[in-house]
Each structure stands twice: as C-alpha cells, then as structure tokens.
Amino acid sequence: MGTTIVSDEIRQRILTYFENQAQRHGLSAFTVDRMAKDLKISKRTIYQHFPTKDAIITTFMDSVKHRIDEHFGAMEKLDLPASMIMIKSLKGILDILTPFLNQGISDLKTLYPEIWQSLVAFRKGKFDQIFKLLRQAQTDGEINPNLNMNRLAYLLPQILDELFQPEVVFHPSHASRDMMEEVFLILFQGIFTGSTRDSFPQLLKQQAE
C-alpha cells in the first residue's frame, strides 16, 4: 500500500514538472537528465514510472484530453441555450490549452508527430459535439436561419482546425490567447454592426448576380 502511494506521488511530480517545463520552455528543451536533476530523483526512478520520454508526453496529453472531456460533460448538463453551451465549451477548451499555446505546441507537431496526430483526431471528435450544439441553436432560433448548415458542417471544422495549427496560434508579436479570442469574436459575433451587418447577405447575392 505504501509503495503505491509513493509511486503515485512520484508519477504526479514527474507530470507536473513536465507541464511546467512545457509551458515555460516548450518541448525541445525537455530532457530526462534535466528532470532527474531538478526533481532530485534518479533517471532509473523516472523510467520505472514512464518507460520512455514519449510516454511522459503521451500521458500528459491524455490528461489534457480528459480535462476537456470533463469540461464538455459538465457543460452539456447546464440548463442553458445551446448557443451558450457551445460558447462556454469553446472557452473552456481555450482556458485549458492557453498555457500550451506557445513554442510547446509547435514542438509537439514537429518533434512528436504521432502524439500530435492523436491530438488532431481527438480535436475532430470535439467538432461533432460543437456542430450538434450549432444545429440545435439554429433550430431554437439562436443562429442566423440563412446559414446553410451543411456548408457550415464542412467549413467550421476546417476553420477551427487551422486555428489550432502551431504556425497560427504561436506568433512572436501577439499573445496566443488574444489571437484566439479575436478569431472567436469574429466568427461568432462578426465584424460589422447594425445596418451593414443586416444588409451583407443581400450584398453578397447582388455580387453573385
């Protein structure tokens, strides 16, 4: 019993250390040697808990996915309009991922492509949940009835997928979270206001003609 408690404690220390390093310095600088030195434990102890460096990263990313799953589950239980649940769900994802919208996410795609692809697959699964909320919001009259939901079902995942690419969210001149919030503002609130916004669909039709 005592051994299990100690093992769980060390395992959590390793994951917490990795999280802090990923947030501060990205993944390219992460080494087991440095971890062992900073945590004052042997490399052998680390490898007893995680057989490879990739296993540490995979386990941590699994914990991030679990946090997102828990957040989505909690949002779905709220007695709120579908549009608000969708917005809160997206904000929750942003809150969870913001600490890693730095060099770390770029390193993940470049240095650990298999782990990155697992994250991409997970993200696509979330698109289905988001679109379900969008469809319900349109049924409830919360979304522009002129929107073609079949086209939106194709376009929105492409847009969100592109947003989470490292080369988009990691920019040296702008804070990643600020950039993401600005894009969400444009997507869901729009650029134009008042009469310009109201007349825009008709202007598009005139241009097409």
* 31-66 confidence digits (pLDDT tens): 999 999 999 999 999 999 999 999 999 999 999 999
Phi, psi of 174 (to 5 degrees): -140, 145
At residue 201, the pLDDT reads 66
Which pTM does this prediction carry?
Answer: 0.76
125 by Cβ neighbours in 10 Å (0-12 / 13-18 / 19+) ranks as exposed
Q: Which residues pair with 174 in a beta bridge?
A: 171
- Residues 140-166: pLDDT tens digits? 988 888 788 888 888 877 877 776 666
User: Is the Cβ–Cβ distance between 57 and 18 less than 8 Å?
Assistant: yes
Phi, psi of 39 (to 5 degrees): -85, -10
Question: 102 or 81, which is more confident?
Answer: 81
Query: Is 137 contained in some domain?
Result: yes
Quick check: 1 pLDDT over 50?
Answer: no
Q: What is the mean pLDDT of residues 90-102?
A: 78
Query: Is 202 contained in some domain?
Result: no
SS3 category, 171? strand
**How much of the chain exceeds pLDDT 70, in percent?**
82
90: CATH: 1.10.357
CA of 36: how far to CAs of 16, 18, 29, 126, 145, in Å? 13, 11, 14, 36, 58
Q: At what angle do helices 2-25 and 32-39 cross, to 10 degrees?
A: 120
Question: Which DSSP category does 174 fall into?
Answer: B
Domain that holds residue 100: 54-192
Query: Is 29 contained in some domain?
Result: no
**How many domains is the chain partitioned into structurally?**
1
User: Is the Cβ–Cβ distance between 115 and 108 less than 8 Å?
Assistant: yes
At residue 71, the pLDDT reads 93
Query: Is 7 contained in some domain?
Result: no
Amino acid making up residue 7: S
Query: What whole-number distance in Å separates Cα of residue 21 and Cα of residue 102?
Result: 12
Question: 158 or 172, which is more confident?
Answer: 158
At residue 47, the pLDDT reads 93
Query: Is 172 contained in some domain?
Result: yes
Q: What is the mean pLDDT of residues 98-115?
A: 80
At residue 28, the pLDDT reads 84
- Residues 120-142: pLDDT tens digits? 889 888 888 888 888 898 889 88
Q: What is the mean pLDDT of residues 86-112?
A: 81
CA of 90: how far to CAs of 38, 97, 168, in Å? 35, 11, 17
At residue 10, the pLDDT reads 93
Q: What contacts 121, CB < 8 A, 6 or more positions away?
A: none
Q: Residue 204's pLDDT band (boundaries 50, 70, 90)?
A: low
Q: What is the mean pLDDT of residues 93-103?
A: 76
Query: Is 199 contained in some domain?
Result: no
> Mean pLDDT across the chain, nearest whole number?
82
Query: Is 117 contained in some domain?
Result: yes
Query: Is 64 contained in some domain?
Result: yes
User: Is the Cβ–Cβ distance between 115 and 104 less than 8 Å?
Assistant: no
Closest by Cα among 54, 58, 92, 55 to 73: 92
